[in-house]
Structure 1
Amino acid sequence: MQYTPPNPTLGPALTLLLATATGLAVASIYYVQPLLGLLSAQFGVGSAAIGLLPTLTQLGYGAAILLLSPLGDRYDRRRIIVVKAAALVVALAFTAAAPSFAALCVASVAIGLAATLAQDLVPAVATLAPEAQRGKRVGQVMTGLLLGILLSRVASGSLAALAGWRAVYGGAALVVALLMPLLWRGLPRFQPATQAGYGELLWSMARLWTQHAPLRRAALAQGLLSVAFSAFWSTLALVLAGPEFGQGSAVAGAFGLAGAAGALIAPLAGGLADRRGPQAVIRVGALLVFAAFAVQAVAPASLWLLVAVAVVFDLGVQAALVSHQSVVYSLDPASRSRLNAVLVGVMFAGMASGAALGSALLGAFGWRAVPVLGAVAALGALVIARRR
């Protein structure tokens, strides 16, 4: 069966809707992080046990990227998006009403599974956008995703302080529920790109990896940049609380705003990739990440420098990500969901590796070891990006 994409119908209103839905979907993964202290006290569990909640959410998300996201090439993507949105509403509502810690653990996995709605929305944008505007439109929706990641912690902590942690999940469920009819009406039907069975879909991702060198380069380079990104953000609160900076959790949370400033570059980077080609944007993005971490590694401890580093390296990471997506989505229009699953799967591995390595290096060598890791990872991404 020959794949026929839907006619491009992606105007500003639909772009805004999809960006909002993408941000709210991915934010669901991160609401829990500022709430761990409240949840520990509520259910009487220690710090080790309460740490299971974000871990289970991330595991659910990672598993669904590889096991569920490829279905977007096999079935009508609009239907998948709405079904996952409904599942996310149920998971969030169940979390809000969870009577026990065990129930919260189950809900955490369910939220991670359903939150991969975000990874169905981005390929939908790539399919609907005219080719000459694909990078720009994907960048606009990625801004929603990135703001969802960076601002979810601020929103969650603030609302929980006012109305309790259950209000965070109840409110999130309500907002996603309100988006569902808008998504159903706004999105066109998507013709399935393949009739392959589920097992063949999964196996085909390995074939795509071996078939497309640009996919391998994009995934590996973005995976290395994700190591740097995750190492910084996963250790930031501990670094700020150390003797060099002496800051509390409120300052750590406010750093999300600094990261959001970098996220706003995504549409500009996508438009530049459309006009000048993505490779130049990727190299500049990797160079910005390297420069930011190299300066942090050797400069005297300064809170304002740390803020500048967060803005600059996040700008570089997001510019490279949007440009890598532009490369990947152009490889095979009939396989965009699977291509996205491969790219995001490798990114997820990089995020997990960055968190683990950053924490280990911080404990063993102190806070300067984290930017050294980030600079080395960015340098590796730059080397890969320069290859043809």
Structure 2
Amino acid sequence: MTNNSKGIEMNQSKGITLTKGLVLLMSITCGLAVANLYYNQPLLADMGRTFHANSHQVGNISMFTQIGYAIGMFLFVPLGDMKERRQLITVLLGSVTISLIGVATAQNLLWIYVASLAVGITTVVPQVIIPLAAQMAGPEERGKVIGSVMSGLLFGILLARTVAGFIGGSFGWRMMYWVAAVLMLALAIILKQILPKSHPEANLTYRQVLKSIGELIVTQPTLREASLVGALLFGGFSVFWTSLAFYLEGAPYYFGSEVTGLFGLVGVVGAAAAPLVGRLADRFSPKLMVGLFILITLLSYLFFGFLGSAVWGIIVGVILLDLGVQGAQISNQTRIYSLVPEARSRLNTVFMVTYFLGGSLGSSLGSYAWNLWQWRGVCLTGGIMIVLGFIVWGIHQLKYKS
């Protein structure tokens, strides 16, 4: 019997079963928590006016948030393999509540940079929950369960922009962060009461856990490839979303933050497809599906570059971008969770830390490209990151054909 099956049996013996209600609770939690990372994107232009900052300076708010997320995942997500997860989740939600208040009360750029970094560090609850869902699911339904939980996370990512655009446009960008702080505090209270206790699958010290992460990177080529591909795709994703507010507030659109946020609703098509992607990953080769979704992502940038002056071109591009990036992420996570079952939190740490380092790089490059070359520079920068992702994927397929 594997360590993983022992861990599942131990959980079930304690009354933990993977019901539809529990999956739904995990999905909602992931969506509300991850939204903290994306509220700033449609509000960047408004924040820039508050702090009298240019597009590159204010774009660093997104960059620091994503860097913080990578740091938080490295520090806290591995604890999911050695600590009781409910308590860990509750502590993290309390911490992010304080961090969000820090953003809401920021008085200058340095303040909001530090507070945004703190928001990223403490907004890692989804990456504690996803390995838990994978642990509790049977092998035959793991892709479906991951897809269901991920659909909540993806809805959170997309709707965060819409909600932030509406609240920011109506009541000012600070109000969005006050609302987010209240939501996180409420989640902490609810999950403390409802989320069942979990039991760690690995009997390791924190130092051993961190050391084993390096060993996983060295010994698992699929983990390295999936992580690097994910970083490049999410980098291309962040290039677009960091720059969109600046593009839409000028010619030919002249849209405010409310309208910019509505483009997040368009990506719901991709989020709605997440459970289907998970089922397909259970039935077909996830690694081949990654290649397909990379090509879909690249197609989105062709729409942005050649048809971005028309609203419908942006809309089609957003649908393809979200579907491609999210589909590749679900397929990659399905692949890596099967590598070393007792180390799922650590595998997820490597994948997601690399993923969000790529996102932070994309945020910085996106605002920099906009500052220098406007929209065509943004499209070229994002497109290059996607092409590099396809090259990494292709090299891995040639080297590891099995």
- The correspondence for 1:46, drawn from 37, 52, 59, is 52
Aligned in 2, Cα 1:130/1:181: closer, same or farther, shift over 3 Å? farther
> What do residues 327-357 of structure 1 show as CA deviations (whole Å, max 9, x unaligned)?
1111112111111111111111211222233
1:130 and 2:133 aligned? no
Change (3 A) 1:292 1:151: same
Structure 1 residues 93-141: Cα deviation after superposition (integer angstroms, max 9, x where no partner): 5655x48557766543432222111211111111122221111111122
For 2:361 and 2:60, locate their aligned partners in 1 and report how far apart those are by CA, in whole Å.
17
- Which position in structure 2 is the counterpart of 1:307? 315
2:85 is the alignment partner of 1:83:
no
TM-score (norm 1): 0.87
Given that 1:58 and 1:112 are in contact with CA atoms closer than 8 Å, whether structure 2 keeps it comes out as yes
Partner residue, 1:72: 80
Match of 1:265 among 241, 249, 273: 273
Q: TM-score, normalising length from structure 2?
A: 0.84
Corresponding residue pairs, total: 385
- Identity, in percent, stands at 35
- Superposed CA deviations along residues 209-251 of structure 1, whole A, max 9, x for unmatched, are 1111110111111112112211111122233344455544443
Query: Does structure 2 conserve the Cα–Cα contact (< 8 Å) formed by 1:14 and 1:186?
Result: no
Q: Secondary structure at the match of 1:234?
A: helix
Question: In 2, are the aligned partners of 1:21 and 1:176 still within 8 Å (CA)?
Answer: no
Alignment of 1:149-188 (within 5 A): 149-162=157-170, 167-188=175-196
5 Å-filtered alignment, 1:122-271, equals: 122-162=130-170, 167-243=175-251, 245-271=253-279
Inter-CA distance 52–302: structure 2 relative to 1 (3 Å threshold): closer
User: In 1, distance between residues paired with 2:361 and 2:106?
Assistant: 33
Contact 2:168 2:257 in 1 (8 A): no
For the residue of structure 2 that corresponds to 1:251, the secondary structure is helix
- Contact 1:76–1:189 under 8 Å retained in 2: yes
- Answer yes or no: is 1:278 the counterpart of 2:290: no
Change (3 A) 1:60 1:310: same
CA contact (8 A) 2:247 2:375 kept: yes
The reply on whether 1:325 has 2:327 as its aligned counterpart is no
Structure 1 residue matching 2:123: 3-state secondary structure: helix
Partner of 1:349: 357
Write out aligned runs for 1:1-12 (5 A): 2=3, 4-6=6-8, 7=12, 9-12=17-20
Per the TM alignment, residue 367 of structure 1 is displaced from its structure 2 partner at its CA by 2.2
Alpha-carbon offset, residue 199 of structure 1: 2.6
8 Å contact 1:22–1:145 — kept in the other structure? yes
With over 3 angstroms needed to count, the CA separation of the structure-2 counterparts of 1:51 and 1:385, relative to structure 1, is: closer
Which residue number corresponds to residue 381 of structure 1?
Answer: 389
| 1:246-292 Cα deviation digits (max 9, x unpaired) | 54444322211122322222111011101223123212211111222
Structure 2 unmatched runs, 5+: none
Question: Residues of 1 paired with 2:217 and 2:342: CA distance?
Answer: 15
**2:304–2:313 CA contact under 8 A, matched in 1:** yes
Match of 2:378 in 1: 370
> For 2:197, what is the secondary structure of its paired residue?
coil
Asked if the contact 1:283–1:385 (Cα under 8 Å) also holds between the matched residues in 2, the reply is: yes
Q: Distance in 1 between matches of 2:103 and 2:301?
A: 38
CA RMSD between the two structures? 2.9
Note if contact 1:278-1:326 (Cα within 8 Å) is conserved in structure 2: yes
